[in-house]
A and B are shown apart, each in its own frame.
Chain A
């Protein structure tokens, strides 16, 4: 079945440490790929997106993501996390032949240790 998988429900890292959040998708074609962040009580903010071209995408707040077609992955990374990065992170895909519906993964909650 077509899906977006974020295998880690919770991740805890120390402030200043590096971060990688995993995302895999299972679709026949390469979808449009997104990462969103949701702070408590807030809506979703777009971190970055990938449509085509350079497979390493830079986003806001120092985040980047790398698209790997062979692994059907779009992992989010940050070299050094800040306490303010504690939030819920959602990977999402859009299938352009499916009425532009955006499909979300279940999310990864990031906890930061001081």
Chain B
């Protein structure tokens, strides 16, 4: 299955700034996803990122706050903009292997603390 390298693993950011998270996959994947996981909670899907098209956002998440890029089939970024303490969370990317070994692989997560 695919292996995902996610960076940074953690960061502490000031209010009003932005953080860009990168995910690099070791193989080409059609679909990538971005999740938020608040402390002690399950994963909430932010958006689906397909190469060559705009990301599709879930209810409650907007492009201005969470712009996503997907320039090719192995890479994606999520930016969390205009940070507030409420954005403190873990952010994870995921890639779907839709072939014979169907399944999802996850990055190791980015722990964001906004101060």
Contact = CB atoms under 8 A, between A and B. Distances in A.
Contacts, number: 47
Contacts of B102: 32, 49, 51
Interface residues of B, number: 24
Contacts of B4: 43
Contacts of A53: none
A104 interface: yes
Interface stretch (A14-22, A76-84, A95-103): A95-103
B92 A106 contact: no
A42 B6 CA distance: 11
Task: Provide the main secondary structure of the chain B interface.
Answer: strand
A44 interface: yes
Interface of A: 32, 34, 36, 41-46, 49, 51, 90, 94, 99-102, 104-107
30 contacts: A41-B109, A42-B109, A43-B4, A43-B106, A43-B107, A43-B108, A43-B109, A44-B106, A45-B106, A46-B103, A46-B104, A46-B105, A49-B102, A49-B103, A90-B42, A90-B43, A94-B104, A99-B48, A99-B56, A100-B31, A100-B96, A100-B98, A101-B33, A101-B45, A102-B33, A102-B94, A104-B42, A105-B42, A106-B42, A107-B41
